[in-house]
């Protein structure tokens, strides 16, 4: 039987039908086109339903960019107006009855994707650190996905990694303000005295621009300290670096990040852990959504 994975982005609904080995059988995309509230939910449900003609479907997994309230089965997605506490699971179940529907956050789907088809295949303890506009982590611990009291486990970007507090971090947290894509752009913009994007900072870093070097070297130190803390606290087999920043130019910095982490982290755990880049490219969320049905 097949499983259906749906990845809800900021503007589109990507869906794929997988066999139980994680191979894609067919794909489809719909566009939100400004839909909000119940209308956006109905688009997701209709996208799911359209696959039922082709195949027997074992279950539906949906990846959402936000928080999944696991006790109430509702979601908060800041990108979709009216989705502060939206009953997405119920909306899909009404349209596609008799199949289980799983809703998971994007960071949970990333680590599930790695577990199914990426570098974490044989792992029971692995952390995916997603460095994009923000920083978050999907955590597989003792073979299970963890959620926490408010379903916001892994709020990695908020880690305290500096000696004294700075008001500058109020909005996004200490780690994130230095080491997310937006954080790198922010630090560089202050230093260059003009708006500058994180890809531009990386390309200036490649050409040894001293200001860009300062920003990226600081980010490397922060990634090292942040990853070390994940290792000391969770004792995982691997840390997988992914997200926009690590699908690009930061990937080759991973060995330097490991060396920084080695100074700080619990020595036994650090000796045994691997730091890797994501083994799956753009389909991580879709794969993870699909695998949430089988997991």
CB 158, min distance to a copy of itself, A = 4
Task: Kindly state whether residue 154 participates in binding a copy of itself, applying the rule CB under 8 A.
Answer: yes
User: Whole-number minimum distance, CB 260 to a copy of itself, in Å?
Assistant: 8
Residues contacting 282, CB < 8 A, separation 6+: none
Which residue number, 22 or 236, has a Cβ lying nearer to a copy of itself? Answer: 236
Q: Does 233 bind a copy of itself (CB under 8 A)?
A: yes
49-57, 208-216, 231-239, 249-257 -> range binding a copy of itself (CB under 8 A) = 231-239
Count of residues interacting with a copy of itself (CB under 8 A): 48
SS3 content of the chain, % helix, strand, coil (to 5): 45, 20, 35
DSSP type of residue 252? G
| By the rule CB under 8 A, 272 interacts with a copy of itself | yes
Strands (E), 23-95: 24-31, 57-64, 67-69, 74-76
Which residue is it, tokens 């870093």? 205
Q: Is 141 in the site for a copy of itself (CB under 8 A)?
A: yes
Residue 176 CA: distances (Å) to CA of 154, 160, 172, 218: 13, 10, 6, 12
To a copy of itself, the closest distance from the beta carbon of 262 in angstroms equals 10
Does 228 interact with a copy of itself (rule: CB under 8 A)?
yes
| Residue 73 sits in the site that holds a copy of itself (CB under 8 A) | no
23-31, 114-122, 139-147, 196-204 -> range binding a copy of itself (CB under 8 A): 139-147
Question: Whose CA is closest to 8, among 97, 94, 120, 91?
Answer: 91
Binding piece for a copy of itself, criterion CB under 8 A, among 113-121, 192-200, 242-250, 260-268: 260-268
Does 225 interact with a copy of itself (rule: CB under 8 A)?
A: yes
Applying CB under 8 A, does 248 fall inside the site for a copy of itself? no
| Residue 124 interacting with a copy of itself (CB under 8 A) | yes
- 4 in Cβ contact with 17 (< 8 Å): yes
For residue 208, give the nearest of 218, 198, 217 by alpha carbon: 217
> 3-class DSSP state for residue 178?
helix
Position 150 contacts a copy of itself (CB under 8 A): yes
């Amino acid at each position: 039987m097949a499983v259906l994975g749906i990845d809800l982005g900021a503007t589109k609904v990507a869906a794929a039908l997988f066999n139980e080995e994680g191979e894609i059988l067919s794909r489809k995309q719909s566009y939100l086109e400004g839909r909000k509230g119940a209308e956006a939910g109905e688009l997701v449900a209709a996208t799911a339903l359209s696959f039922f003609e082709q195949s027997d479907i074992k279950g539906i997994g949906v990846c959402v960019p936000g928080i999944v309230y696991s006790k109430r089965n509702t979601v908060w997605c800041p990108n979709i107006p009216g989705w502060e506490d939206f009953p997405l699971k119920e909306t899909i179940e009404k349209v596609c009855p008799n199949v289980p529907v799983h809703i998971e956050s994007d960071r949970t789907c990333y680590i599930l994707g790695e577990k199914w088809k990426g570098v974490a295949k044989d792992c029971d303890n692995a952390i995916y650190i997603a460095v994009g506009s923000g920083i978050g982590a999907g955590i597989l611990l003792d073979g299970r996905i963890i959620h926490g009291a408010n379903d916001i486990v892994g709020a990695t970007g908020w880690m305290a990694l500096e000696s004294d507090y700075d008001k500058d971090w109020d909005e996004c947290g200490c780690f994130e303000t230095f080491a997310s894509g937006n954080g790198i752009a922010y630090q560089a913009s202050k230093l260059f005295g003009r708006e500058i994007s994180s890809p531009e900072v990386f390309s200036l870093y490649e050409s040894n621009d001293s200001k860009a070097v300062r920003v990226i070297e600081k980010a490397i130190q922060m990634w090292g300290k942040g990853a070390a803390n994940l290792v000391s606290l969770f004792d995982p087999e691997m840390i997988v670096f992914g997200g926009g920043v690590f699908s690009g130019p930061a990937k080759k910095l991973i060995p330097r990040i490991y060396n920084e982490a080695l100074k700080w982290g619990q020595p036994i755990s650090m000796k045994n852990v691997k730091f890797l880049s994501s083994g799956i490219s753009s389909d991580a969320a879709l794969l993870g959504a699909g695998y949430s049905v089988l997991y």
